């Protein structure tokens, strides 16, 4: 009796593993990339870092290169070119999320000017998965794809 139950469970497990071969990894990675892009845009909208901490405001400053005073907004939403530049590239092995804008690093890394801290652009992190909410959102995407593959 015990061996029959084990054989039945082994057969079910084998069938589940076979069904997992139906998992479309490119589609999964694409959906994960889209969700990460949405998370980044939400951070811009709220003006918070991955941990939920509010970004510092950018103060009015004089731009000597253009000989003018600049009044950046309280959130980087005014930086539409950065806000709308995030994309993802999904493939069989994974997904890469980012922006081609080279100045994005000045918002995410400690900005320096010849070794001295830059005062014009405060640190405003927007990349990364830190909060439980972000992790749950991404795990929900994975769960959905696995359930579809297993026909649950």
On the question of pLDDT at 58 being above 70, the answer is no
DSSP 103-142: GGHHHHS--EETTEEPSSS------S--SHHHHHHHHHHH
Residue 152 has a pLDDT of 56
Q: Look at 70 and 103; give whichever has higher pLDDT.
A: 103
Q: Where are the alpha helices (DSSP H) in the chain?
A: 2-20, 25-46, 80-83, 105-108, 132-150
Residue 90 has a pLDDT of 93
């Amino acid at each position: 009796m015990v061996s029959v139950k084990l054989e039945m469970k082994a057969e079910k497990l084998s069938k589940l593993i076979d069904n997992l071969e139906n998992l479309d990894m490119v589609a999964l990675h694409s959906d994960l990339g889209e969700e990460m892009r949405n998370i980044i845009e939400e951070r811009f909208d709220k003006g918070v870092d991955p941990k939920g901490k509010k970004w510092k405001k950018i103060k009015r400053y004089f731009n000597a290169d253009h000989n003018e005073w600049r009044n950046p907004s309280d959130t980087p939403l005014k930086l539409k070119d950065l806000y709308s530049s995030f994309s993802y590239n999904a493939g069989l092995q994974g997904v890469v999320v980012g922006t081609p804008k080279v100045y994005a690093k000045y918002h995410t890394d400690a900005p320096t000017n010849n070794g001295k801290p830059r005062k014009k652009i405060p640190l405003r992190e927007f990349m990364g998965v830190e909060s439980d909410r972000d992790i749950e959102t991404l795990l929900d995407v994975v769960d959905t794809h696995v359930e579809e593959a297993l026909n649950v």
